A and B are shown apart, each in its own frame.
Chain A
Amino acid sequence: AQTVTQSQPEMSVQEAETVTLSCTYDTSENNYYLFWYKQPPSRQMILVIRQEAYKQQNATENRFSVNFQKAAKSFSLKISDSQLGDTAMYFCAFERARDSNYQLIWGAGTKLIIKP
């Protein structure tokens, strides 16, 4: 069974610093997607970034980038020049495919606090 592990329950950094959130996963599949989602306090889940497993190049979205290590089954999120609005729960998720159905398997989340 696929699992997703986020080993950092909570992190806090000063505004403008860089922070890295870790995520590891376990799967026997070769093709899959990985995602980082952000859930601000009392607001809905939004997609931050995604990575296709067959792509070697790490995904980047503005201040957000990932370090995807397929052999190590590691998928960390780096947030550069952190902003107060980055304060949120961050979830790592794995998308598995079975037949034509797709399900997201989620980690427990990391609470990120950006301090002014």
Chain B
Amino acid sequence: DTGVSQDPRHKITKRGQNVTFRCDPISEHNRLYWYRQTLGQGPEFLTYFQNEAQLEKSRLLSDRFSAERPKGSFSTLEIQRTEQGDSAMYLCASSLATGGRDEQFFGPGTRLTVL
């Protein structure tokens, strides 16, 4: 297993376009998290899945954002009608929940630039 992977690594789009990012977690990990990280800041929590269920969404996740994890494996994060303020690094992490706190393993991120 090669860890958490994210695709694409970089995305440049024009304002108003829709973009979709993919995250492949470590196999057998049942939790999957999405974060957003802007330059010079720490990550901010966006949303979290346990298996295919989306259990928590941050207020940062506006109506233009949607995330899915249809079969409890990979996840997609879609941003509709992108705005320049959406420019950031989008990080995905996965973990294996064993009844207590768990260690999150991060992917390399997708850097989004909205022109």
Give residues in A with beta carbon < 8 Å to B: 4, 33, 43-47, 50, 91, 93, 95, 97, 100-109
Give residues in B with beta carbon < 8 Å to A: 4, 33, 35, 40-45, 48, 55-56, 91, 93, 101-109
Within 8 Å by CB of B56, from A4, A95, A101, A109, lies: A101
Query: Beyond A33-B101, A103-B56, is A109–B40 a contact (Cβ under 8 Å)?
Result: yes
Can you report 10 A-B residue pairs in the complex whose CB atoms are below 8 A from each other? Answer: A4-B42, A43-B108, A44-B106, A45-B43, A102-B101, A104-B33, A104-B45, A104-B104, A106-B44, A109-B42
Query: Beyond A44-B108, A45-B106, A103-B48, is A109–B41 a contact (Cβ under 8 Å)?
Result: yes
Residues of B within 8 A of A4 (CB): 42
Interface centre among B33, B42, B56, B101 (most CB of A within 10 A): B42
Q: How far is A91 from B37 in the complex, measured between Cα atoms in Å?
A: 12
Shortest distance between the CB of B35 and any CB in chain A (Å): 8
Within 8 Å by CB of A107, from B42, B45, B48, lies: B42
Q: How far is A102 from B102 in the complex, measured between Cα atoms in Å?
A: 9
| Residue ID in chain B nearest A46 by CB atoms | B106
Q: How far is A69 from B45 in the complex, measured between Cα atoms in Å?
A: 26
Q: How far is A100 from B105 in the complex, measured between Cα atoms in Å?
A: 19
